[in-house]
Amino acid sequence: MTLSDPEVLISEADIQKRVRELASKISKDYENCGEVVMVGVLKGSFIFLADLSRQLTIPRVIEFIAVSSYGSGSRSSGAVRLVMDVRGNIEGKHVLIIEDIVDTGHTLNYLIGILESHGPASVKTCALVRKAERAEVDVDIDYLGFDIPDKWVVGYGLDYAEENRTLPYIGTITPLD
Ligand code: PRP
């Protein structure tokens, strides 16, 4: 399949401004809560996590978690599998899940369950973008960057077949054939 070049949907400046706003809100909400464990969902969250975590003014540590969907077309069936759990002990800690995108919601819904099973003090969620039209499960996003239309998006951690993850902006791509 041939794809168009990415067309800017959310500019680098708009992303950076929103990241600063989210960091300020998170820092305020978690003030006096002790250390927050930021759990990045591999791979897509790595750039958002890097930028967001450096803007926080509260104590924080970084963890990663990895999941995969079963086979093709499984995302809509909601079959998610844990590939790598967090490494540190999160019992009694405040956990904030960091996602690049929430699409059907199955991944985030599954991850909340996994992380809650470790006995943390709290689990909250933060996602840079959400495709509200695609939601299949109702999952709370405590900190959301942007709602976006149901288009193929790349950049700022998001890929299409591993391409374009490191674009500084979020762009849309369309099939040309
Ligand atoms: C994306 C994204 C979420 C998930 C959201 O990951 O990072 O984890 O899909 O989809 P859902 O709401 O429909 O469950 P992806 O599978 O593309 O892996 P990647 O982050 O490694 O690119």
Provide the CA 22 distance to its chain's centre, in angstroms: 13
User: Ligand 1: distance of its center to the CA of 5 in Å?
Assistant: 21
At residue 77, the pLDDT reads 67
Tokens found for residue 51: 């930028």
CB 128 within 8 A of CB 156: yes
> Could you say which residues of the chain have pLDDT below 50?
74
User: Ligand 1: distance of its center to the CA of 32 in Å?
Assistant: 32
Pocket of ligand 1 (CB under 6 A): 41-44, 75, 99-107, 159
At residue 74, the pLDDT reads 44
Site to probe by mutation for ligand 1, drawn from 101, 130, 162 as the one with most ligand atoms within 8 Å of Cβ, is 101
CB 63 within 8 A of CB 88: yes
Name the residues annotated as catalytic.
103
- Spatial neighbors of 113 by CB under 8 A, at least 6 apart, are none
| Closest C-alpha residue for ligand 1 atom 10 | 103
At residue 177, the pLDDT reads 84
- Distance, CA of 50 to CA of 66 (rounded, Å): 17
| Closest C-alpha residue for ligand 1 atom 1 | 101
Question: pLDDT tens-digit profile of 101-144?
Answer: 999 999 999 999 999 999 999 999 999 999 999 999 999 999 99
Taking residue 105's Cβ as centre, other Cβ atoms within 10 Å add up to 21
Full set of structural domains in the chain with CATH: 11-149 (3.40.50.2020)
